[in-house]
Amino acid sequence: MPVVAPEYHQAFLGKDARFDGRFVVGVNTTSIYCKPSCSAKKPAAENVVFFDTPAEAESAGFRPCRKCRPDAMPGTPAWNGTSATVSRALRLIEDGVLDRSSIDALCERLGIGARQLRRLFRKHLGTSPIQVARMRRADFARRLIETTRLSMTHIAEAAGFGSIRRFNAVMNEVYGCPPTALRKGSVHGAVGLELEIPVRRPFAWDALLVSLEATATPGIEKVADGRYHRTARFKQAVGEVSASFDEDDSALRVRVSHSLNSYLLDVVSGVRRLFDVEADVAVIREHLAGDPLLDTCLQTTPGLRVLGAFDHFETAVMTLLGQHVGDEELAELARRINEKYGKPINASLDGLTHVFPTPYALSTAHLEAVGVPKRRSKSIQGLAKAVHEGELRLDGSPSLDEALRGLRAVPGLGTTTADYIAMRVYREPDAFPANDRRLRTVASSNGGSLAAHELEALAERWRPWRAYAAMCLWERARCNGTESPTYFQGNRDTITPEAPEQVA
């Protein structure tokens, strides 16, 4: 049976990819059904019908859209679309295919044309295959310069440059100095390959950066000179990522160290999640505008997004660790945990020292030894063990209800903290921590504080984007000068304890 959910139509109009897999949309005039995020022109409201699953749509006589492939299961190459091709191309480039052969040889391996491959790289990464290969050569050449006494001519040949002239030009462009200066050790390391991620206007970069700076994980994240910097790990590869916002081009400029070249798609996905690039802020604003509680923020801070998570596990742990402790204590505990259980890294920026511990490392860690309260230590161990053993997935594949059930099964992780994690880690646009003290206070019309169930009832009108309404309310409190720059504050008294075991 078709589902009746007014908020589904709002999500469909917003082409919100986060609703993919939750429902499909049948178009009566074409007998085609699509994913919510389909880029095709949207039909009139009276011509669409919603189904919970593709099977239900096909039983009703609809056939799948060839453009968005709603019949593919999540996680398959068809569901991921062309990103699977780009991911394979990155692995081949890292294996040196373009060092030995031409772009045509790479395309032959992939089974697509050169123009199509360039278009896919521009779409998914904001760069070209040649740029990725060039950065790989430059990084390899630099390591040879710094660790051997080979001549520049031999290094240029070993790194795959066609001539010494080309070698000098590329090294100058990438590192801002001639190759001989690198041998002298006078140039500090740099994150070189730059990717471009287009962002819909407006985009509240400054507001997001303020919050990221206030909540940065010591040794892992840092905000400096208008850029967000962090360390990253993908399987055995570790490196650096940084991002800034180009107002003129309305794009995020993302710099990635060569060590992560095989994982550029993962890097881009993490940045897109963190800065909520997928959000259609115009549609969301139209839905929320006019509400007296939200309208001021929508006007003064246009383009406000819901901060996400570059690293799912890291954000979940930091949220859990921050329950009922102050910012300074949270930063100190995080620093100790990273130093003892994280992996050291030689970063180009002072202050970046480690990559965050793995789920396995924290599942067996004795966190009380670094000052984490006993009950909080058990909660983090429980979370890490569930993630490591696959009992809890943090990648957004479960439904909101499944995700919340899994989180609440972790000892000491209560309802409100689960809602915070759903907002950031699972990127749930409709997650809403109704028990948050600040939300209940700022939503009150008499200066007091609403009960959680009263705020829940009030928030019904904000579906399916209650998370954005929460961001507006937090921003309103911050702009009033009564709160700190952080939006997610499980780290003070903003979460009312729901059970004795949640308080350390």
Residues identified as active-site: 34, 436
Picking from 255, 305, 302, 315, the residue whose alpha carbon sits closest to that of residue 279 is 305
* Tokens matching residue 48: 């669409």
Contact assessment for residue 288 and residue 401, using Cβ atoms and an 8 Å cutoff: no
Angle ∠(133,138,140) on CA atoms, nearest 5: 95
Contact assessment for residue 243 and residue 252, using Cβ atoms and an 8 Å cutoff: yes
My answer on whether omega of the bond before 411 falls inside 30° of 0, hence cis, is no
CB burial readout 173-186, b (16+ within 10 A) else e: ebbeeebeebbeee
Report helix, strand or coil for 198.
strand
- Cα distances from 48 to residues 25, 29, 36, 384, in angstroms, run 7, 8, 12, 43
Contact assessment for residue 84 and residue 77, using Cβ atoms and an 8 Å cutoff: yes
Distance of alpha carbon 488 from alpha carbon 208, whole angstroms: 12
Distance of alpha carbon 264 from alpha carbon 87, whole angstroms: 8
Contact assessment for residue 408 and residue 415, using Cβ atoms and an 8 Å cutoff: yes
- Cα distances from 419 to residues 349, 423, 435, 472, in angstroms, run 34, 6, 9, 16
Distance of alpha carbon 433 from alpha carbon 437, whole angstroms: 9
Ranges of H-type helices in 342-481: 359-363, 374-388, 400-408, 415-424, 437-442, 452-459, 466-479
Q: Helix 129-147 and helix 114-124: axis angle, to 10°?
A: 70
For 484, phi then psi, to 5°, come to -80, 170
Q: Are strands 32-34 and 63-64 parallel, antiparallel or unpaired?
A: parallel
Distance of alpha carbon 197 from alpha carbon 250, whole angstroms: 9
Report helix, strand or coil for 49.
strand
Angle ∠(75,81,82) on CA atoms, nearest 5: 130
Q: Which residues are CB-contacts of 9 (< 8 A; sequence separation ≥ 6)? A: 45, 48, 50
Residue type, 112: I
Distance of alpha carbon 275 from alpha carbon 271, whole angstroms: 6
